[in-house]
Amino acid sequence: MVVAHLGQFGQNETKHEKFVEEVKAFDDEDESPSDVWFYGELTELVKEVDTLTTIMVEGIKKFKKYLEVSELEEVCENDELSSTIELWFEHDSYRNNYFHTLVKDDEFETFCTRVISQAFENN
């Protein structure tokens, strides 16, 4: 049992090291990762808000981790994270239209609050 636990720790450490290497590559190139790098590549229309919430939660977690690891070393407040989500929606409207119309304008702030709270409720 201890061996399995140590193996998982090693895997997590390797994942983190790989993540740090990816971030440093972006820093070296003086570019930011694409939206898709954060929340994953979508191949079809997202049809449910709950599904989109899950996608955005993972994206925001990765975005916050990216900021902590990158040369930017920024701490992002919740309103700034909401702005990031808003940019992702805007970019989707220009590109693939996978999700940008799923959340109505008058529900967007509530959606962002839900995504951000779910992303950090266990931290």
Give, for all 123 residues of the chain, the pLDDT tens digit: 444 544 554 566 688 788 888 888 876 666 778 899 999 999 999 999 999 999 999 999 999 888 888 776 666 777 789 999 999 999 999 988 999 999 999 999 999 999 999 998 765
- Inter-residue contact 101 to 49 (CB < 8 Å): no
Long-range Cβ contact pairs of 107-113 (< 8 A, separation 24 or more): 109/82, 111/49, 111/53, 111/85, 112/81, 112/82, 112/85, 112/86, 113/78, 113/82
The pTM score is: 0.79
Cα(108)–Cα(56) distance, integer angstroms: 13
Domain boundaries, the chain: 32-120
The pair of structure tokens assigned to 23 is 């971030």
Residue whose C-alpha is closest to residue 81's, from 51, 118, 47, 26:
118
- C-alpha distance from residue 6 to each of 2, 17, 47, 88 (Å): 6, 16, 40, 37
